[in-house]
A and B are shown apart, each in its own frame.
Chain A
Amino acid sequence: DAKTTQPPSMDCAEGRAANLPCNHSTISGNEYVYWYRQIHSQGPQYIIHGLKNNETNEMASLIITEDRKSSTLILPHATLRDTAVYYCIVGSGYALNFGKGTSLLVTP
C-alpha cells in the first residue's frame, strides 16, 4: 500500500472548517483514499473514502487532487467532539495500514 504523510497536529476553532491535508504521492491507480478518526481509545470511526472524484457525506468532504497525489479532508463546522486523531490511509479496500495520523484539537 502507498505511504501517506500527514501533519502530526493541527488546531481548529469551534465552528470553523477544519482542513486536514494528506500526501500520498506513491498512490497507485487502484488504491482508494480512506479517512478514519479515533477518539481516545475508541474504535477507529470511518469518515469517508474516494478513488478520484471528490466525495461528500454527512460527516465531511474529501477533496482529491487531479493527480491523486494528495487529498484534503474537510470538516465544515468543527465541534469540540471532532477532537480526535485523523488517519489518512491509502489502500485497495482490503487490510488498511494505519500511519501516524493528525491529532486535531478543536478549541472553544
Chain B
Amino acid sequence: AAGVIQSPRHLIKEKRETATLKCYPIPRHDTVYWYQQGPGQDPQFLISFYEKMQSDKGSIPDRFSAQQFSDYHSELNMSSLELGDSALYFCASSLRGAGNTIYFGEGSWLTVV
C-alpha cells in the first residue's frame, strides 16, 4: 500500500539559509501533519492542514511556514535557519475524523551547519 512520501530524505543547509521539505500524503487522505524531532527528543507537533486550510497549530517557529496544495501535497518552508533547527522532520497524513489513523512518513533529515 502507498505510504506517506517525503522529500528530500536528507538535506544540509548553512545557517541563515532557507529549506523546503515536501510531503505527499497517502492517496485520498485530506489531512497533513508536520512534526519535528530533535536529537534525543520525542516528536513535536508543528502544524496541520485539512483541505488546504490550516487546521491545528503546535510549536511551529515564526520562521517556519507551511501550506497544503490542491493536490493535497504539503510543503514546509524554513527560513533563517539556525543550528537548533537540525532535526528529523516527519510528515503524516490521515482522513479527517475522530478516531482515524494517522500514518507517518520516514522523515527528512535536516542538518544546519
Give A contacts to B, CB under 8 Å.
Answer: 30, 32, 34, 36, 38, 41-46, 49, 51, 87, 92-101
Interface size on B, residues (CB 8 A): 28
Q: Is the CB of B104 within 8 A of A43?
A: yes
A32 to B99, CA, bound (A): 6
A41 to B97, CA, bound (A): 28
Distance (Å) between the CB of B55 and the closest chain A CB?
7
From residue 31 to 59 of chain B, which have CB atoms closer than 8 A to chain A?
A: 31, 33, 35, 42-45, 48, 55-56, 58
Q: Is the CB of A95 within 8 A of B42?
A: no
A contact face: mostly helix, strand, loop, or mixed: loop
Specify which chain A residues have a CB less than 8 angstroms from the CB of B94 in the assembled complex. 93
Specify which chain A residues have a CB less than 8 angstroms from the CB of B100 in the assembled complex. 93
Q: List 10 A-B contacts (CB under 8 A).
A: A30-B98, A42-B106, A43-B90, A44-B90, A49-B101, A94-B31, A94-B48, A97-B45, A99-B42, A100-B42
Q: Is the CB of A45 within 8 A of B104?
A: yes
Known A-B contacts A45-B104, A46-B101, A51-B99; A94 and B55 likewise in contact (beta carbons under 8 Å) = yes
**CB-contact partner of B43 in A32, A44, A51, under 8 A:** A44
Specify which chain A residues have a CB less than 8 angstroms from the CB of B55 in the assembled complex. 94-95
A42 to B4, CA, bound (A): 13
Q: Is the CB of B98 within 8 A of A96?
A: no
Interface centre among A32, A95, A98 (most CB of B within 10 A): A95
Interface: B103 (CB within 8 A): yes
A92 to B48, CA, bound (A): 14
A41 to B104, CA, bound (A): 12
Distance (Å) between the CB of A79 and the closest chain B CB?
21
